[in-house]
Amino acid sequence: MPFAQLVIGSPGSGKSTYCDGMHQFMSAIGRNCSVVNLDPANDHTSYPCALDIRDLVALETIMAEEELGPNGGVLYALEELEHNLEWLQNGLDGLGENYVLFDCPGQVELFTHHTSLRNIFFRIQKMGYRLVALHLTDSYCLTLPSLYISTLLLSLRSMLQMDLPHLNVLTKIDKIASYGPLPFELEFYTEVQDLPDIVPHLLEESPMMRHPKFEGLNNAVIDLVEDFGLVGFETLAVEDKKSMMTLLHSIDRAGGYAFGGAEGANDTVWQVAVRDGMRTMNVRDVQERWIDRKEEFDEMERKQLDEEAKAQETPTLTDDAGEEVVDSDLEEMRGHIPDSGVKVVRRP
């Protein structure tokens, strides 16, 4: 049974960067992974693209022939894909049991009220895929109470629309310290509890919010989110392997991922760690790493990288005749150790 992630989110939330990083990460831990681009506006992918919607429909052609703008063109392209799902199905059949990442467009109407993307996902599910929707949001939204409330509403609406196992993710969490101090600890935002506590900060943000007519609206929005009790957030720093491991572990639990026959034999310690959820980070660890002691941890990691680089510069062993001595056990061990780092190529 194949598994897949449906990566959705607003423009600039880091969807393509995430797909690139997660593809590298899964390859490093020995999990076969393919990326499918469903964004017709994404003409320069930084990841190897197994399937590309642009091979079916080109956004530029749609805009020219149908006299549509960019947003309308994307909606038209997804409707076209919905009516030509045999193309997608044939392409997915060629991927076998590979784990699939679907890089989706950023137009929010596609995952809040437009039905094409939802129908496509349900058809993929009928093909036997176990799906997890991953809604990415830039962590900058935490800096303003109004942005955070808007993010809660968008996340809730997308969860109800997609009607699938769903995780909301605050991306670029490694940048959060540069935005200035937050009025609450990170746990307040990720657990989405005690929301009435944010109202005073919402009133301070804008004089307009102090008008009596907004008081009832603010309270109604807060009650709506709390009554559903669905919204919560994971965090992600895509270039940090512990952060990636923690998120992948949560995704695996949400989707019921089971390791197949190709995974489990001759595993490295790193692969076993991912399976067992070892060394994962909770929200307090994230608070300490990226907010409270960011500079200290950055310096520690720099020193660790320097030490690893020096360790790799060990002299070559030679025998009495001056010939290089190869330690077969060491070479075999090195052959099983993957490069677990994620190298992100950002589009200009």
Give residue-wise pLDDT tens across range 80-137.
999 999 999 999 999 999 999 999 999 999 999 999 999 999 999 999 999 999 999 9
Instruction: Pick the closest to residue 35 from 16, 57, 58, 10 (CA basis).
Output: 16
Give residue-wise pLDDT tens across range 6-32.
999 999 999 999 999 999 999 998 899
pLDDT above 50 for 332: no
Q: Report which residue type is found at 108.
A: V
CA atoms within 13 A on the CB side of 40: 25
Mean pLDDT over 287-312 rounds to 90
Mean pLDDT over 190-205 rounds to 92
Q: What is the pLDDT of residue 334?
A: 45
Mean pLDDT over 221-238 rounds to 95
In angstroms, the first-to-last Cα distance of the chain is 37
In the numeric block, which tokens belong to residue 270? 């790193």
Q: What is the pLDDT of residue 225?
A: 95
| Cα distances (angstroms) measured from residue 342 to each of 20, 24, 61, 173 | 9, 6, 35, 16
The dihedral of CA 146, 150, 151, 153: what is its sign? positive
CA atoms within 13 A on the CB side of 90: 8
What mean pLDDT value characterizes the chain? 87
Q: What is the pLDDT of residue 330?
A: 43
pLDDT above 50 for 335: no
The strands making up 233-235's β-sheet, listed across from edge to edge, are 49-52, 33-37, 99-103, 3-9, 130-138, 166-171, 233-235
Asked if 56 and 84 count as a contact pair (C-beta separation under 8 A), the reply is yes
DSSP label at residue 288: I
pLDDT above 90 for 75: yes
Give residue-wise pLDDT tens across range 121-165.
999 999 999 999 999 999 999 999 999 999 999 999 999 999 999
Q: What is the pLDDT of residue 49?
A: 94
pLDDT above 60 for 261: no
d(CA 125, CA 169): 22
The dihedral of CA 61, 65, 68, 74: what is its sign? negative
Mean pLDDT over 291-303 rounds to 92
pTM, rounded to two decimals: 0.85
d(CA 18, CA 244): 10
Stretch (H or E) spanning 34: strand 33-37
Q: Report which residue type is found at 33.
A: C
Instruction: Pick the closest to residue 43 from 23, 75, 8, 70 (CA basis).
Output: 70
Instruction: Pick the closest to residue 117 from 155, 158, 86 (CA basis).
Output: 158
Q: What is the pLDDT of residue 336?
A: 44
pLDDT above 70 for 44: yes
Polymer length of the chain? 348
